[in-house]
Amino acid sequence: MLSIFTRGGDDEGRSPWDVTRSVWYAMFMREAISRTMSDRMGWFWMIAEPAAFTLIMVAIRSQIKGGRLIPGAEFVPWLITGLMGFFLVREGLMRGLGAVDSNQALFAYRQVQPVDPVLTRNFLEGMLRTFVFLLFIVGGLMLGIDLSPDDALLAMFGWISLWCLGLGAGLVVSVLGSLVEEIGKIIKMVNLPLLILSGVIFPLNHLPHSILEYLMYNPIVHGLETLRYGFFNSYHVVHGTSILYLWLCTFSLLSLGLLLHITFKEKLKAK
């Protein structure tokens, strides 16, 4: 699978893009096999985790509130889209966190750079999460739950925006987490608070404005609201939702992550 890395002399006459594309393909196939086949329960947990969250939250909602909870959208589809969007960002963040250290041996090949495993891992994770989301949409339609988007283009744009946001965050933490071990521990600790503060399991519109204005600094909120509005055109998005702010944060993270990789490339290789 990784024989491409050993063909040092074969790189002569090939463009840098051809070499990079070959490296990405080899690393993608390596990660895909490891992600989907090394753990027999891997596919199960990718589907079971959001399903379990949904069942738990529906059970809690049925006990504490019997009326309509989300203006302009049904609770179950609203919750599923939020969970799927959040997991897309979270996995981009967490897969980036260990990407450099777990592929340290590959940096002996001059074609492989520390940024390569981060990019390939995020692309693979995005493809897997997209496939799982499509399974939920089809499964929901079979069960009578309307999960088809009202505006497919806007829904895809929101999904891609969250995907890119996760990539940017993954690029940043892949460097910082490798250089400072404590950062990785902090990132893992904030997962649950971030799930709550991103408006995944309850609508942020119910919060006082004094709290909401601070939560809106979180770009994940803007991505999730955009995604949900693509699925439910009658949904009342959180006041202050901005696609421009979402992409400013995304481009900032992408730029910072790539700059960190360029600056600390040799240090990451020498670890």
Q: Tell me the average pLDDT across 208-223.
A: 92
Q: Residue 11 — pLDDT band, cuts 50, 70, 90?
A: low
- 7 has pLDDT over 60: no
The answer to whether 171 and 253 have CB atoms below 8 angstroms apart is yes
DSSP 8-class letter at 239: T
- Residue-wise pLDDT for 103-146, tens only, equals 888 888 888 899 999 999 999 989 989 998 998 899 888 888 88
Predicted confidence at residue 2, as pLDDT, reads: 45
> What pTM value is reported for the model?
0.88
> Counting every residue, how long is the chain?
271
Angle between helices 75-97 and 42-64 (to 10 degrees): 140
The answer to whether 194 and 165 have CB atoms below 8 angstroms apart is no
Q: Residue 184 — pLDDT band, cuts 50, 70, 90?
A: confident
Q: Residue 216 — pLDDT band, cuts 50, 70, 90?
A: very high
Predicted confidence at residue 71, as pLDDT, reads: 80
Q: Residue 9 — pLDDT band, cuts 50, 70, 90?
A: very low
Report, in this order, helix, strand and coil percent for the chain, each rounded to 5.
75, 0, 25
Q: Tell me the average pLDDT across 87-116.
A: 88
Q: Collapsing DSSP states into helix, strand and coil, what is residue 216?
A: coil
Q: How far apart are CA 55 and CA 58, in angstroms?
A: 5
- 8 has pLDDT over 50: no
Q: Residue 38 — pLDDT band, cuts 50, 70, 90?
A: low
Nearest in space to 122 (alpha carbons), one of 227, 259, 268, 257? 257
Predicted confidence at residue 150, as pLDDT, reads: 92
